[in-house]
A = this chain, B = another copy of it.
Amino acid sequence: MGDVSMNKPYFRELFHPKLVSPVFIEGLPGFGNVGRIAARLLVKSTQAKLFTELYSPFLPDYVMVNREGICRPPRYEFYASSTNKTGFIILTGDAQPSVDDITAHYEMCAEILDFIEKYGCKFIVTLGGLPLPQPAGEVYVAATSQKLAADFVEKGALLYGKGRIMGATGLLLGLAKKRGLEGLSLLGATRGVRTDHEAGLSVYNFLTKVFGIKTE
């Protein structure tokens, strides 16, 4: 299985999907797990295939055991799918690095961006939750440019201005911009304490609408 010394992030590629300038979509655990829920719904509805696993010493130091008693370390998962309009690389996963390990967040994001650039990604969409005291199904947008932000406000999102976006959802977008990529963050309003399926569904619905993804 090659070098699996686990001293640094390790990509295990299961197959190499053929995608032309795919859109990269990230949805990892976070506030209300909104991003992860939306990403998983997208994996299902686009029948995306798992093509790469990412293991890392920055992910938690436990193993996960499934219903059959089989264990595996926590990981990130990259899925590939193609609709009639667009190819997607969808990232979701079991956990994020510890909130205390800031450099781990930077390193994981850099590795992920290196990886998706090899697949020709030029546009990224990060999904997450926005903690609000009175969430009402709304989806907020922040972007790498004013034009992009305005585009998505026109499509029905609310502008997220004067704030911060925590973790991979924010940092991936910020670091992507530094590399010359474009993209946006879609944030579902959520109380953020518990897993919020409704907020995840709101983000997913907005996403499928703007990308013209058929759902039944």
Query: A-side interface residues toward B, CB under 8 Å?
Result: 1, 4-7, 12, 55, 57-73, 97-98, 100-107, 109-110, 114, 141-146, 149, 153, 159-167, 170-171, 173-175, 177-180, 185
User: In the complex the two chains form, what is the Cα distance from A144 to B146 in whole Å?
Assistant: 46
Are A69 and B142 also in contact (CB < 8 A) when A62-B171, A175-B6 are? yes
Contact between chains at B105 and A61 (CB < 8 Å): yes
Say which residue of B58, B101, B144 sits within 8 Å of A70 (CB atoms). Answer: B144
User: In the complex the two chains form, what is the Cα distance from A104 to B98 in whole Å?
Assistant: 13
Across the interface, which residues of B come within 8 angstroms of A178, CB to CB?
Answer: 1, 4, 6, 12, 55, 73
Q: Which residue in chain B gives the minimum CB-CB distance to A146?
A: B68
Contact between chains at A102 and B146 (CB < 8 Å): no
Are A4 and B102 also in contact (CB < 8 A) when A146-B70, A164-B62, A165-B63 are? no
Q: Which residue in chain B gives the minimum CB-CB distance to A149?
A: B69
Contact between chains at A70 and B149 (CB < 8 Å): yes
Contact between chains at A4 and B174 (CB < 8 Å): no
Are A65 and B160 also in contact (CB < 8 A) when A6-B110, A173-B71, A177-B71 are? yes
13 contacts between A and B (CB under 8 A): A5-B110, A6-B110, A6-B175, A7-B110, A60-B102, A61-B170, A62-B171, A63-B164, A63-B165, A63-B171, A66-B162, A71-B185, A101-B103
Contact between chains at A106 and B71 (CB < 8 Å): no
Contact between chains at A167 and B61 (CB < 8 Å): yes
Across the interface, which residues of B come within 8 angstroms of A101, CB to CB?
Answer: 102-103
User: In the complex the two chains form, what is the Cα distance from A100 to B72 in whole Å?
Assistant: 21
Most B CB atoms within 10 A — which of A62, A69, A97, A145? A69
